[in-house]
Structure 1
Amino acid sequence: EQNASMALSLADRGYVLQTGKIVLSDTAKNLLTNDLVRQAYLGGA
């Protein structure tokens, strides 16, 4: 998804893929507040 923040705000659950493999799955709320996910994929700290 091009706008991960918006997608997660509408989703119940999210998945982080790396080279086609799921490396992290959690609730959307937890992914939005995960510092590593925010820095790597959501453009912020």
Structure 2
Amino acid sequence: PRLIMLDEPSLGLSPKFVTLIFDKLVEMKRAGFTLMVVEQNATRALALADRGYVLELGRNRLEGPGPGLLADPEVKRLYLGG
């Protein structure tokens, strides 16, 4: 498959395994796979994302390039404790 859909791939995992999972996702992205990831770990997910969508109460609150969202003060306030 060229599209991989993942729901909370880091849920319940130790930090070591979270790193392994996201390292593998980076490899898959570089290999040309399209990844659709739903993830509460906003820092890791947005760093990986070409495009991200930030939901609040089930509604799309913000969208844009992953690194741009990661730097957005509103995203930091909502999800990263900034």
Give TM class, smaller chain. 0.7 to 0.9
| Separation of aligned partners in 1, 2:65 and 2:58 | 20
Aligned length: 44
Greater RCO structure (CA 8 Å; 6+ sep): 1
Runs of 4+ aligned structure 1 residues displaced above 4 Å come to: none
| Separation of aligned partners in 2, 1:11 and 1:25 | 11
Which one has a bigger Cα radius of gyration? 2
TM-score, normalised to structure 2, is: 0.48
User: In the alignment, is residue 17 of structure 1 matched against residue 49 of structure 2?
Assistant: no
**Given residue 38 of structure 1, which amino acid in structure 2 is its aligned partner?**
K
Task: Give structure 1 stretches of 5+ with no counterpart.
Answer: none
User: In the alignment, is residue 33 of structure 1 matched against residue 74 of structure 2?
Assistant: no
**Helix, strand or coil for the counterpart of 1:40?**
helix
Identity of aligned residues (%): 52
